[in-house]
């Protein structure tokens, strides 16, 4: 049926047919006790919808940006390095308040900013202690979801 849809030029219907087939097949794998195949099929479904849902990697990226920013804020594991400071007006715009910050203090919005641009950590921020590992994990997840997003776009087009 999928091939017939493709031959007729109904690529959206072919994609939906393939997606529903893979979803049903995933649960058959679970019923058959093939847990390793089911697990990888579940990952393919959850991360990018078998290559047919490019919005999912974006959603996962936003989720990990929010989780990373919250983690950095709660643990206070990001500190402003001793590099030359940005101008006061720019800092207030990033921080979102007019009060002068304590030395090295980073706001929640700056933590979210760092979490969002983790693939190119600015010199202005430096992770403390074990949060360096979180930075590495977030960087790896960012690249994985970026590649999944690009492959999903390529499969749709």
pLDDT in tens, 132-149: 888 888 888 888 888 888
Specify whether 147 is located in the same domain as 104. yes
Specify whether 84 is located in the same domain as 116. yes
- The secondary structure element, H or E, covering residue 48 is helix 35-48
Specify whether 77 is located in the same domain as 136. yes
Q: Are 147 and 44 in contact (CB under 8 A)?
A: no
Specify whether 85 is located in the same domain as 105. yes
Global pTM reads 0.67
Task: Give the burial string for 24-60 (b: 16+ CB within 10 Å, else e).
Answer: eebeebeeeeeeeebeebeeebebbbbbbbbebbbeb
| Boundaries of domain holding 107 | 55-157
Specify whether 31 is located in the same domain as 70. no
- Residue 120 three-state SS: helix
Instruction: Give the pLDDT confidence score for residue 112 in this predicted structure.
Output: 76
Instruction: Give the pLDDT confidence score for residue 92 in this predicted structure.
Output: 47
Instruction: Give the pLDDT confidence score for residue 39 in this predicted structure.
Output: 93
State the total domains in the chain.
2
Instruction: Give the pLDDT confidence score for residue 136 in this predicted structure.
Output: 82
C-alpha–C-alpha distance, residues 17 and 7, integer Å: 14
Specify whether 142 is located in the same domain as 83. yes
Segments in the chain below pLDDT 50: 89-95
Instruction: Give the pLDDT confidence score for residue 35 in this predicted structure.
Output: 92
- Domain end, chosen from 37, 53, 69, is at 53
The phi, psi pair for 124, rounded to 5°, reads -70, -25
Specify whether 78 is located in the same domain as 108. yes
Instruction: Give the pLDDT confidence score for residue 34 in this predicted structure.
Output: 92
């Amino acid at each position: 049926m999928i091939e017939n849809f493709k031959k007729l030029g109904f690529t959206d219907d072919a994609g939906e047919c393939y997606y529903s087939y893979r979803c049903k097949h995933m649960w058959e794998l679970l019923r058959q006790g093939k847990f390793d195949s089911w697990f990888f099929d579940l990952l393919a479904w959850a991360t990018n919808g078998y290559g047919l849902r490019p919005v999912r990697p974006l959603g996962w990226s936003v989720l990990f940006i929010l989780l990373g920013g919250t983690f950095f804020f709660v643990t206070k594991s990001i500190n402003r390095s001793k590099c030359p400071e940005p101008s006061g007006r720019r800092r207030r715009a990033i921080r979102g308040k007019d009060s002068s910050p304590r030395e090295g203090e980073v706001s929640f919005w700056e933590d979210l900013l760092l979490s969002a641009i983790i693939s190119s950590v600015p010199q202005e921020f430096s992770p403390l202690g074990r949060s360096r590992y979180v930075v590495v994990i977030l960087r790896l997840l960012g690249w994985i979801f970026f590649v999944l997003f690009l492959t999903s776009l390529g499969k749709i087009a």
